[in-house]
Structure 1
Amino acid sequence: MGSTSARTETCKSTSEREIAALFDRWNQSLQTGDPRKVVANYADRSVLLPTVSNTPRLDAAQKLDYFQHFLENKPFGRIDSRTIEIGCTSAVDAGLYTFTFARTGAVVKARYTYTYKWDGSQWLITSHHSSAMPEK
């Protein structure tokens, strides 16, 4: 038999604080008003299941389209509660957040899940699910 080389993955040392800061990075990119800066937070292979659209956004162009419209109302997100789980080169941040829209004054409470993957140089979002709270 030939030799087999086990594929080893080098784990990324991180902390809950570092993972929590990834939401802040994403939220700050919203504040720029530039949808390209928001989309830069997502891995090339990633899925966005957005709060205010029924369409899954699977590629950069689809995400760009969504954020162009989402940013029109000047959103600002605030984490209300969260749970963070850390893996070797992945992390999950799930919980509840509230968006305030400066343009309309609307307030939307939603639940979220972000999954992140370390790409060797930075953490990127591999999936982002956001849905409005079902109960008033």
Structure 2
Amino acid sequence: MGLLMSIFTWWEGATIGTSLGLRGKTRVGEDSLGNLYYSGGKDPNGITRRWVIYNGPNDASRIPPEWFSWLHHQIDEVPDEALPPMRTWEKEWEPNRTGTQLAYRPPGALEAGGHRARSTGDYEAWTPDA
């Protein structure tokens, strides 16, 4: 990322201000997407502050669930240490696909052709005279 981009744009990654603000903070870990997690300092309530620096566009749906739990103080230790291993029946995490070509479109959605299954005959439309 160029110098001007890091000064003026926040949507493409960490700005210079964020990078300078992370000086003296502890790098805690990295997730499978390459996002970096930091910890350090205290907020006015005495709770340790935690940050994520995205690898790529800033999109909160790109944080895996285990790291979301750590960021929001639902677990105290780093997810690799605090959580049990993934079970065989659990699916791998996926980013939010809303707004992309891979988004779910139910039958009848305009993007899926706009044709829904006909009703089975148990529906009777309301009329004001009835």
Whether these two folds match at TM > 0.5 is no
Who wins on radius of gyration, i.e. which is larger? Answer: 2
Comparing both chains, which one has the higher relative contact order based on Cα–Cα distances under 8 Å and sequence gaps of 6 or more? 1
Greater strand content: 1
TM-score of the superposed pair, with normalisation by structure 2: 0.26
